[in-house]
Amino acid sequence: MAKGNVTINVERCKGCAFCVEFCPTKVLALSSAFNSKGYHPPHVVNPEKCSGCDLCGMYCPDFAIFGYKVPAPRTEAAKHAS
């Protein structure tokens, strides 16, 4: 189950690929799509590996991405039990 997620601001990205390289679990890759300035922004390719550590956000020089932790959802059984 994913423990983290990222938000990508596609239009701010300048395609430097810091986030792709420095994500410790290789969640991201540069997409083949373009933003309006002609850069290839990243997209999530391994969502289940994201821990929400926000290293991508720390590295991004363009403030175009950040990661955050997502609380693990409770199972259906656990919800009914309490």
* Interface contacts to another protein, rule CB under 8 A: 5, 7, 11-12, 14-18, 21-22, 39, 55, 57-63, 66, 68, 73
CB of 30 to another protein, least distance (A): 11
How, if at all, do strands 65-69 and 28-30 pair? unpaired
Q: Which is nearer to another protein, 61 or 80 (CB)?
A: 61
Q: Closest Cα partner for 31 from 6, 62, 52, 10?
A: 10
Please say which residue, 29 or 55, places its beta carbon nearer to another protein: 55
Cβ neighbors of 3 (< 8 A, separation 6 or more) are 50, 51, 52, 69, 70, 72
The residue among 28 and 60 lying less far from another protein, judged by its C-beta, is 60
Write the single-letter amino acid at 28. Answer: L
Closest approach of Cβ 46 to another protein, in Å? 19
